[in-house]
Amino acid sequence: MVASLDMLYAIKTIFKAKLVVFGAKNTQKLLQNFDFIDNFELISSSAKENYPQIIKQINAHHCDYLIAFHSKSFLIKFLLQSNAKRIIIRLKWLSFLNFRCITINDSFIKKFFKDKTIRAKMLYYARKINPKLYDKKINTLTFNNQIPIPLKNKNIIKEFLMSHNLKEKDFLIINPFAITTPYNLSINCYIKLICKASLKYKIVIPTFEAVHQNFIDNLNSFKNADKNQIYIFKNDDDILNLLALLYFSKCLISPSTGTIHLASNIKIPSIGLYLYKDDLYWKTFNQNYVFISKKQSDLSKSESEEIIEEVLKRLDELMSD
């Protein structure tokens, strides 16, 4: 979602469009204070039984253009049931053969575009609406779409910091959790990293309900580790609390996932544990990466140790700046 902010701003500014976003609760939270979003339609569930309700929500807006970033055949068929005049979507046989679809050739972008970032790809979706007008106006735009952090969420984090005698910018965040990438360290390897880093620095780990207890159990299994400088922030379902925690931190260590993209949006330095070439698509604010060449299940103990040591080395360099 973060990578699409400039695309949304460009659509609103260049085409003077009425902009409606369809998405989940976290997306709604992150977009709620942007004045270039005219309307947000909350998709409570993407389960098949909810499809008729989603179509009803889409049809209520009589969209001239509907932009979709996923292109499974079932999704193309589903969106073609809507009354949207045109659908901008990735190139598949089904989308290629339907006159209502304006297609994006993803392979062409990856091969020939100089800027391969997801942000640039999203802007290309916007360009498809009216290429001539887009090309005329795009260089006149100033992009500064930092996600606003409400005072309420900042106060929640300030209370957490005060309760642990932590000062702003005097701690770092380590996020071990990633759903979408298998190229990551195991939780136990992250705990080794956390324990080693905590010998020098104060560490905050943001957890959430689905992972919290398992992480605590794993952390407690490291009996001889010094945990005096390790702090757990268990978040509720408010993503803006995580954003506020990042805002007050010195830096972040994280795999390529939503947390590191949030940090980049508000210009918090990070060390990204990335699959090689992911840095071309998901650039971070300070472009500091430790590359993981194998899936977690294929990493040997010595390879995991090398990654941990490289992260610690980069962390020392980052914290000394």
Enumerate domains of the chain plus CATH numbers.
2-140 (3.40.50), 152-320 (3.40.50.2000)
Confirm if 197 and 312 have CB atoms less than 8 A apart.
Answer: yes
pLDDT of residue 184: 94
End-to-end CA distance of the chain: 30
Residues ≥6 apart with Cβ < 8 Å to 149 = 240, 243, 244, 247, 266
Of 296, 178, 212, the C-alpha closest to 220 is: 212
pTM of the model: 0.93
Q: What angle (nearest 5°) sits at the alpha carbon of residue 278, between those of residues 288 and 239? A: 75
DSSP 130: -
Token pair belonging to 105: 């050739």
Q: What angle (nearest 5°) sits at the alpha carbon of residue 77, between those of residues 19 and 43?
A: 45
Rounded Cα gap, residues 277 and 191, in angstroms: 26
Q: By CB neighbour count within 10 A (0-12 exposed, 13-18 middle, 19+ buried), where does 209 fall?
A: exposed
Q: In whole angstroms, what is the distance from residue 145 CA to residue 4 CA? A: 10
Dihedral over Cα of 240, 241, 247, 252: its sign: negative
The residue whose two tokens read 């360009």 is 127
What pLDDT score was predicted for residue 87?
A: 98
**Angstrom distance (rounded) from CA 49 to CA 134:** 38
Contact 190, 218 (CB under 8 A): no
What pLDDT was estimated at residue 224? 75
Distance CA 195, CA 220 (A): 11
In 10 A of CB 183, how many CB atoms? 20
The CA distance from 160 to 253, in Å, is 20
Q: Over its length of 321 residues, how does the chain's per-residue pLDDT go in tens digits? A: 798 999 999 999 999 999 999 999 999 999 999 999 999 999 987 777 888 999 999 999 999 999 998 888 889 999 999 999 999 999 999 999 999 999 999 888 888 888 889 999 999 999 999 999 999 999 999 998 999 999 999 999 999 999 999 999 999 999 999 888 889 999 999 999 999 999 999 999 999 999 999 999 999 998 877 889 999 999 998 999 999 999 999 999 999 889 999 999 999 999 999 998 888 889 999 999 999 999 999 999 999 999 999 999 999 999 987
Residues in Cβ contact with 271 at an 8 Å cutoff, skipping those fewer than 6 apart:
251, 252, 253, 254, 288, 289, 290, 311, 314, 315, 318
| Dist. CA 158–CA 268, nearest whole Å | 17
DSSP run (H or E) holding 57: helix 51-59
How far is the CA of 277 from the CAs of 188, 249, 292, in angstroms? 26, 27, 10
